[in-house]
């Protein structure tokens, strides 16, 4: 029997009634005051990740109804279908098997192919990382979207585990301002260029790859053509196109790996080069542990599923249109950008699996910045703005600046750094507290505000210093940002996106929405040579003339 869409279930009807009756007025403050066990009751542990879900707008009844909703939408059967390799990406007729990329040998579909490439890739990685022999000191990854964002996010996150003699660079944009400053400082003889593209046809990546090749040949001098074999590698499903480009060192993957789910495949080559084979395997193992949790934990204890349910609750009942991600770890500064593709490319859809228009909202806008930096930019709006935006905090208990346990700096700086870490964590907790507690006008009246204008009356000032509070947040806690923890964290997000997508009954694994712009770009490009504006709308014609004028 076909799984129903979330809004066609009895649980949805019950949630609608519950929201109207009490859910919309839910207040975190009395909820905590009335229940000493709330923090514990709404916390979950998954591999490498502890989650405090208690500062969210739900109670036991809401959670029970959301779990019933998941069951009615057959979330377990749909999850199992994905894990078994059924072609759930039905508009492209493809399986969705990024989980197979991190499964132990023999444990998932396509295991032989996956482990053959992984073994070969990691052997290559160790050769390149032997920098005294390879002579490679810089790696330039050229790719965009899923062929860029995962590695670009993970490499700084795992800086503590990185090879100190190998510098990683990422070029994605077709704008020459991206590649020029990267190549300017590099010596081709010390550089490995990776051309990362699932399709090996993406305009931006192909254009940058051509520039990199021209730069390489110009700088290398005699023997440059032959040296491409050593200094260029490709990671792609289109090995033939890579060969045509002249790249002979190629690591393949498969059409059942979606671009935004591909960092576990050969696309992870820059990560493996940075952190080494053993750590890359640990990253995969961490993700696999989260896969097992997703596959086996009952819904009542299943973290990715409960996060997905909260997403549906907020988007479709509370009407919140965005979610802010605040990782309190500078290494995770690119996580919001990575999640933008993961969530918004996956679930930014307006029709269901049958092509029927959806009568409710789907992907929220996902955005954010590393804490504490975000506090000094947009947190004002989170605290006192007119929109309620659920915030997701990520805290890491123990810092590791260097895998060996040191900092790489003189010992005398250690004490100061320990203090800094406590400052970081205190800020993280203070923000979720402030969002929840708020401050009444009455309390603000009782305080002195030394910087407030003396020309305004006390009540007006107090109103400006009032915080509505009751703003929801989730806090994820990791012990250390190790490769295994990183793997688990990313897999957690992948499965959460699957969950909301499954409830909405959309195809989370295609991305037709990026095609129209690509097609129009190909039609416009020749006009930049000719200046021809015939048949264009007035605005586009005028802009083209202005840009060419
Ligand atoms: O933006 C669309 C998209 O197809 C993404 O899904 C993908 O990650 C990106 O382009 C890059 O594609 P490719 O890896 O084929 O170059």
pLDDT, tens digit (0-9, with 9 covering 90-100), for 102-113: 999 999 999 999
State yes or no: pLDDT of 378 exceeds 70.
yes
Task: Examine the predicted complex and report whether its ipTM is higher than 0.90.
Answer: yes
Spatial separation of the C-alpha atoms in residues 432 and 375, rounded to whole Å:
11
Average pLDDT over the chain reads 97
- Is 205's C-beta closer than 6 angstroms to any atom of ligand 1? yes
Ligand 1 centre from 101 Cα, in Å?
A: 19
464 is catalytic: no
Give, using CA atoms, the residue closest to atom 6 of ligand 1: 259
pLDDT > 90 in the chain, percent: 96
Closest ligand 1 atom to residue 147 Cα is 14
Spatial separation of the C-alpha atoms in residues 255 and 239, rounded to whole Å:
12
- Is 235's C-beta closer than 6 angstroms to any atom of ligand 1? no
Give, using CA atoms, the residue closest to atom 16 of ligand 1: 197
What is the band of 250 on the pLDDT scale with cuts at 50, 70, 90? Answer: very high
Q: Which of 48, 204, 343, 345 is catalytic?
A: 345
Q: 98-282 in CATH: which number?
A: 3.40.50.10490
Give, using CA atoms, the residue closest to atom 10 of ligand 1: 145
Pocket test for ligand 1, best of 259, 261, 343 (most atoms within 8 A of CB): 259
Element (H, E) at 234: strand 232-236
pLDDT in tens, 425-477: 999 999 999 999 999 999 999 998 899 999 999 999 999 999 999 999 999 99
Closest ligand 1 atom to residue 205 Cα is 16
Strand locations in 1-53 (E): 43-46, 49-52
What is the band of 406 on the pLDDT scale with cuts at 50, 70, 90? Answer: confident
Ligand 1 centre from 247 Cα, in Å?
A: 20
Ligand 1 centre from 479 Cα, in Å?
A: 33
Q: What is the mean pLDDT of residues 34-61?
A: 98
Contacts of 547 (CB under 8 A, 6+ apart): 528
State yes or no: pLDDT of 510 exceeds 70.
yes
State yes or no: pLDDT of 252 exceeds 90.
yes
At the fourth CATH level, the homologous superfamily of domain 6-73+297-402+414-437+471-504 is Glucose-6-phosphate isomerase like protein; domain 1 (3.40.50.10490)
518 is catalytic: yes
Spatial separation of the C-alpha atoms in residues 195 and 247, rounded to whole Å:
9
pLDDT in tens, 141-157: 999 999 999 999 999 99
376 is catalytic: yes
- Is 471's C-beta closer than 6 angstroms to any atom of ligand 1? no
Closest CA to 480 of 345, 312, 282, 322: 282
Q: Which residue has the tokens 């989730």?
A: 474
DSSP output for 462-498:
HHHT-B-----EEEEEESS--HHHHHHHHHHHHHHHH
Ligand 1 centre from 418 Cα, in Å?
A: 41
Element (H, E) at 512: none
Q: What is the mean pLDDT of residues 52-62?
A: 98
CATH fold match for the domains 6-73+297-402+414-437+471-504 and 98-282: yes
- Is 145's C-beta closer than 6 angstroms to any atom of ligand 1? yes
Domain borders along the chain are: 6-73+297-402+414-437+471-504, 98-282, 520-548
Element (H, E) at 427: helix 414-437
Q: What is the mean pLDDT of residues 217-243?
A: 95
Length of the chain: 549
At 1 the pLDDT is 61
Ligand 1 centre from 248 Cα, in Å?
A: 22
Q: Cβ(458)–Cβ(447) under 8 Å?
A: no
Closest ligand 1 atom to residue 345 Cα is 6
pLDDT in tens, 79-120: 999 999 999 999 999 999 999 999 999 999 999 999 999 999
Ligand 1 centre from 525 Cα, in Å?
A: 20
At 195 the pLDDT is 98
State yes or no: pLDDT of 335 exceeds 90.
yes
Spatial separation of the C-alpha atoms in residues 235 and 272, rounded to whole Å:
13
Q: What is the mean pLDDT of residues 187-191?
A: 98
Ligand 1 centre from 436 Cα, in Å?
A: 39
pLDDT in tens, 202-218: 999 999 999 999 999 99
**Residue 477: what are its φ and ψ, rounded to 5°?**
-125, 130
Q: Which of 210, 225, 278, 376 is catalytic?
A: 376
Q: What is the mean pLDDT of residues 247-266?
A: 97
- Is 511's C-beta closer than 6 angstroms to any atom of ligand 1? yes
Closest CA to 231 of 182, 274, 197, 186: 186
- Is 79's C-beta closer than 6 angstroms to any atom of ligand 1? no
């Amino acid at each position: 029997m076909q799984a129903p869409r979330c809004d066609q279930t009895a649980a949805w009807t019950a949630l609608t009634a519950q929201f109207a009756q009490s859910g919309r007025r839910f207040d975190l403050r009395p909820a905590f005051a009335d229940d000493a066990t709330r923090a514990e009751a709404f916390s979950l542990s998954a591999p490498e990740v502890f989650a405090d879900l208690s500062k969210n707008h739900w109670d036991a009844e809401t959670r029970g109804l959301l779990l019933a909703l998941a069951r009615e939408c057959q979330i377990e059967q749909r999850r199992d279908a994905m894990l078994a390799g059924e072609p759930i990406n039905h508009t492209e007729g493809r399986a969705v098997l990024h989980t197979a990329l991190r499964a132990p040998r023999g444990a998932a579909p396509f295991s032989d192919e996956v482990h053959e490439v992984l073994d070969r890739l990691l052997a290559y990685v160790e050769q390149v990382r032997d920098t005294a022999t390879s002579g490679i000191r810089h790696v330039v990854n050229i790719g965009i979207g899923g062929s860029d964002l995962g590695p670009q996010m993970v490499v700084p996150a795992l800086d503590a585990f990185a090879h100190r003699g190998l510098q990683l660079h990422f070029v994605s944009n077709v704008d020459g301002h991206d590649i020029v400053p990267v190549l300017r400082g590099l010596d081709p003889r010390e550089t490995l260029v990776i051309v990362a593209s699932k399709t090996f046809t993406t305009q931006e990546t192909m254009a940058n790859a051509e520039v990199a090749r021209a730069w390489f040949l110009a700088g290398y001098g005699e023997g440059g053509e032959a040296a491409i074999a050593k200094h260029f590698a490709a990671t792609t499903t289109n090995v033939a196109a890579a060969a045509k480009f002249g790249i002979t060192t190629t690591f393949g993957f498969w059409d059942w790996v979606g671009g935004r789910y591909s960092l576990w495949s050969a696309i992870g080559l820059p990560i493996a080069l940075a952190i080494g084979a053993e750590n890359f395997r640990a990253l995969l193992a961490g993700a696999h542990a989260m896969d097992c949790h997703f596959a086996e934990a009952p819904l009542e204890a299943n973290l990715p599923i409960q996060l997905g349910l909260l997403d549906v609750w907020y988007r479709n009942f509370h009407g919140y249109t965005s979610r802010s991600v605040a990782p309190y770890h500078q290494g995770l500064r690119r996580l919001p950008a990575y999640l933008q593709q993961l969530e918004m490319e996956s679930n930014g859809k307006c029709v269901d699996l049958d092509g029927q228009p959806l009568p409710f909202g789907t992907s929220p806008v996902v955005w954010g910045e590393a804490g504490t930096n975000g506090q000094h930019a947009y947190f004002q709006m989170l605290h006192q703005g007119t929109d309620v935006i659920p915030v997701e905090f990520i805290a890491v208990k123990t810092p590791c600046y260097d895998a060996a346990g040191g900092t790489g700096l003189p010992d005398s700086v250690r004490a100061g750094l320990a203090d800094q870490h406590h400052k970081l964590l205190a800020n993280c907790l203070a923000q979720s507290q402030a969002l929840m507690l708020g401050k009444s006008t009455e309390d603000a009246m009782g305080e002195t505000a030394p910087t407030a204008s003396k020309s305004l009356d006390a009540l007006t000032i107090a109103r400006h210093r009032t915080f509505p509070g009751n703003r929801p947040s989730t806090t994820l806690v990791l012990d250390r940002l190790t490769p295994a923890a990183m793997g688990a964290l990313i897999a957690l997000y992948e499965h959460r996106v699957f969950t909301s997508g499954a409830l909405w009954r959309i195809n989370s694994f295609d991305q037709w929405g990026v095609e129209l712009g690509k097609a129009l770009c190909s039609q416009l490009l020749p006009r930049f040579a000719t200046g021809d504006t015939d048949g264009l709308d007035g605005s586009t014609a005028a802009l083209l003339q202005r840009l060419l004028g």
